[in-house]
Structure 1
Amino acid sequence: MTTALPIALLEQRLSAGRELLQRHGLDAIVAFSAPRGLAAATQSSGNIGWFTNFTPMWAPSMLVITATDAVIVAPGKNEARLFTTRVGGLYQVETAGPAGLVARASAIAHASRWRVGVAGADEMTAKLAATFASSFPRMVRIDPILQAMRLDRDPAETALHRRAAEISDAMLARAFAYAAEPQATPARLMAEVEHAGRALGADVSRLWLSTGPEPPVTYFEMFELPPSIAPGDRVQLGTMVSFEGYFAQGLRIGSRGKPAPELSEAAARLLDIQDAALAALIPGRPVHELVDLIEARIDAICPYTRDSDPFRFQSCHGLGLDYSEPGLAEALSPRRDKSRDADGPLLRPGMVFEIHPNFTLPGLGHVCAGDVALVTDTGAEWLTRFRRGIFQID
């Protein structure tokens, strides 16, 4: 087996799964993971990854745990080989074909007569979901339970986040170094940066990019980008990095030439918001206080509301084996049901957050800054270390 996490830790997690069976009166656990390559579009890829330190990039998979069996059901021979390489000494690995995942998991879990705890069913395709519902008549949803278990972080996981953050920093450095070249183009910049991440070992290495005097949105595809970078343009970008399944992200504003005073002022306010957010990451405090603080600071300086802003994405989110850690997603939503706040998660050491305030300002377009924060025993620290503020390219 070749894993980035200690085998002893994965053995502990398998034991924790079996303890969950006893604690909740279950006969089996069946976890579904969407493809890891969906990144921000999934919150289930970590369901299996938490147990196995691996989830396939482009295919779904299932995991079955009973009192006596621990089986990974892979959709094809390539995924089965990868799982076997990772955890073949800890889990039995079977191949069922994409259409046979549910049937095989159902058979192993004796789903027609056993009480089965299920996680990830909401992210199945419609065809899989229909088969799943009829195959598991006694299923019990355990998504919140498994998501809460994932919030307890081992130091080995922190080390992987730290490495992902280092790769993100290197990608930002490559972006601005290339942007300074006379014939630099946005499309080539995107390719250079994504290659830099992969060359350093990232399993996911993506970049969004927006250039011009007033970047309006974030662009993800090369065909959306302009043909060149002109003097005076902003080069505004964000990485999305995963190393051994653990995510990091960095957002920066670059300026080809001296930035306008208004842009410098906006960048300073973004840093103020980030620093206030970092200071608020105190173990034991409610997680929802983080998003409330950031949103209030944005409201104080932005003429738009969240609903009226021409372009604004989430101001923060948890990072883990999913780009947005599902156990923190509700608490960090500015549109959450606040009557549930008293039952929400509390900050604890080892939690990792992306803090990226962003909003639109008239005459400047979309502005943003983003860094990875780690909650420690006494407060928090930045894991991303690339120079903050506006990066003057020329």
Structure 2
Amino acid sequence: MYPIMRESEMMVIPQEVLEERIERARDLAAERGLAALVLCSASRAGGAGQSGGNTAYFLGYSTFNGAVALLIPAQGRPIAFGPGSNEKRMFRARVSTMAEVRQAADFGAGIAQALDELGIREDAPIGLAGRPDLPVRIERNIVARLPRLIDVDAAVHKLREIVHPADVALQREASRISDLMIARAFQAAVEPGMTPARLMAEVEFAGRALEAESARLWLAVGPNPPITSFEYFELASTISPGDRVQLGTTVCVEGHFTQGLRMAILGEPSRDLSKAAETLIGIQDAALAVMAPGKPAHLISDVLEGLIDANCPYTRQTDPFRFQSCHQLGLDYSDPPLAYALSASRDKRLDAQGPLLSVGQVVEIHPNYNLPGLGHVCAGDAAVVTETGAEWLTRYPRGLAVLG
């Protein structure tokens, strides 16, 4: 039923690219007088945090669940640490050509032992990235054994700005799966006896059947959905004629995230709903138009927020329900290189020092807001920066889907 990507077709980041990334990390350590870098990644299962890609960016793979760490010494082979036998097994299968793999229930003790074997004293300055996302126990273990830790999150995020075409190819594959999940959702919505809970399960199954590492769906069903729902207990019990079916996919393939948001209606839409859907497309297109290499990243957010304000009677603070209008997609759901620049609540006095867009960076553009009489309206597509501008990665037809 679903086209599967076979193991022989699996896309990976070339080893020479990963080796070059590790050398850039060593250069960072040398510039700052650090004996080594410790790059930590928290679990990416919930989609929160900005450290999930810290290990995957340099190794080409990282486990999806649970915290892991990567030690990059100034000299010597990198060492990847997992807390249990499962992580050790997966790391050995995927990164053994790039790094030594070790199991360490106590990351602090394991990293300290490795440093000692490398001839690096425990009191040597060590760069640490990913601390804010770590579980408290793991963070305390590392701090207890490495007394001279220097936070290097911002510098590591800067390294992660550089994207390879293989990264984009993986995000294209994730977007393809997202498109098929949306198609399955709208197909299922009109099946006799379909319920929102079953629809959510069907769509998430469809994504996993296509070999996505993770395939999640939020869903809202009703005449005028006021919010988005992630849990079964929040969902309506039925899907009825006249209901809107609004959804958002979040797909991860080989650590690379993408997202798609769509609205549909069972029956004929009102004039106001049709107009709202057309307005959302116009807002998205205006944001896409300012995406090009060398352009300030914050322009995307500024265009979106300005047009949302022009079409919504609520402010961001008074809107009954509104989430961020854009975010970078990459090895984290909200990839850190552009996270602050794309925030509507950023300090705009810092914009002059903000990041510029570069080829290969992917941004999710999903304007959303409430309208009286309609509830929450939204549209969302992933766009990639190209040599000449930007293009959509998600291909499912945009606009309001009218379901028979």
Q: What TM-score comes out, normalization by structure 1 length?
A: 0.97
Pairing partner for 2:112 from 106, 111, 114: 106
The 8 Å contact of residues 63 and 105 in structure 1, kept in 2 or not, is answered as no
Cα offsets for 1:309-361 (capped at 9, x unmatched): 00000000000000001111111111111111111100111110000000000
In the TM superposition, 1:170-181 aligns within 5 A as 170-181=180-191
The 8 Å contact of residues 218 and 230 in structure 2, kept in 1 or not, is answered as yes
With 300-309 and 5-14 compared, the bigger mean Cα shift is at 5-14
Pairing partner for 1:208 from 218, 232, 235: 218
The 8 Å contact of residues 125 and 148 in structure 2, kept in 1 or not, is answered as yes
The 8 Å contact of residues 316 and 355 in structure 1, kept in 2 or not, is answered as yes
Quote the Cα distance in structure 2 between the aligned partners of 1:194 and 1:3.
22
Cα offsets for 1:233-264 (capped at 9, x unmatched): 00000000011111110000010001111100
Pairing partner for 1:266 from 266, 272, 276: 276
- Shift of residue 3, structure 1, vs aligned partner: 7.1
1:220 aligns with 2:230: yes
- Shift of residue 107, structure 1, vs aligned partner: 3.0
With 168-177 and 335-344 compared, the bigger mean Cα shift is at 335-344
Quote the Cα distance in structure 2 between the aligned partners of 1:101 and 1:65.
14
Secondary structure of the residue aligned to 2:46 is helix
- Matched residue type, 1:176: F
Pairing partner for 1:21 from 16, 29, 38: 29
- Matched residue type, 2:321: F
Pairing partner for 1:94 from 87, 102, 105: 102
The 8 Å contact of residues 247 and 321 in structure 1, kept in 2 or not, is answered as yes
Unpaired segments ≥5 residues, structure 1: none
Cα offsets for 1:56-113 (capped at 9, x unmatched): 222111110111131011100110010010011221101112xx11221133234622
Aligned to 2:78: 70
1:49 aligns with 2:79: no
With 328-337 and 119-128 compared, the bigger mean Cα shift is at 119-128
Secondary structure of the residue aligned to 1:276 is helix
- Shift of residue 23, structure 1, vs aligned partner: 2.3
The 8 Å contact of residues 35 and 60 in structure 1, kept in 2 or not, is answered as yes
In the TM superposition, 1:239-250 aligns within 5 A as 239-250=249-260
Aligned to 1:167: 177
Pairing partner for 1:34 from 39, 42, 45: 42
Aligned to 2:3: none
Cα offsets for 1:284-328 (capped at 9, x unmatched): 111011101100000001010001000000000000000001111
- Shift of residue 226, structure 1, vs aligned partner: 1.4
Q: Rate the CA distance shift 1:142–1:111 in 2: closer, same or farther, 3 A.
A: farther
Q: What percentage of aligned pairs have identical amino acids?
A: 49
Q: Rate the CA distance shift 1:111–1:29 in 2: closer, same or farther, 3 A.
A: farther
Quote the Cα distance in structure 2 between the aligned partners of 1:88 and 1:176.
42
- Matched residue type, 1:24: R
Quote the Cα distance in structure 1 between the aligned partners of 2:60 and 2:226.
38
- Matched residue type, 1:102: G
- Shift of residue 229, structure 1, vs aligned partner: 0.2
The 8 Å contact of residues 5 and 157 in structure 1, kept in 2 or not, is answered as yes
Aligned to 2:88: 80
With 140-149 and 11-20 compared, the bigger mean Cα shift is at 11-20
- Shift of residue 9, structure 1, vs aligned partner: 1.6
Aligned to 2:348: 338
- Matched residue type, 1:51: F
Unpaired segments ≥5 residues, structure 2: 1-6
Pairing partner for 1:281 from 285, 291, 304: 291
Quote the Cα distance in structure 1 between the aligned partners of 2:209 and 2:233.
24
Aligned to 2:327: 317
Cα offsets for 1:187-211 (capped at 9, x unmatched): 1110111111111111010000000
Pairing partner for 1:359 from 361, 369, 374: 369
Pairing partner for 2:378 from 356, 368, 381: 368
Cα offsets for 1:348-377 (capped at 9, x unmatched): 111100000000001100000000000001
- Shift of residue 136, structure 1, vs aligned partner: 2.4
- Matched residue type, 1:59: G
The 8 Å contact of residues 3 and 86 in structure 1, kept in 2 or not, is answered as no
- Matched residue type, 1:154: H
Quote the Cα distance in structure 2 between the aligned partners of 1:146 and 1:111.
23
1:230 aligns with 2:240: yes
Quote the Cα distance in structure 2 between the aligned partners of 1:301 and 1:59.
42
Aligned to 1:298: 308
Aligned to 2:18: 10
With 344-353 and 218-227 compared, the bigger mean Cα shift is at 218-227
Number of residues paired by the alignment? 391
Cα offsets for 1:102-142 (capped at 9, x unmatched): 22113323462211111001111222223333332222111
Aligned to 1:61: 68
- Matched residue type, 2:235: L
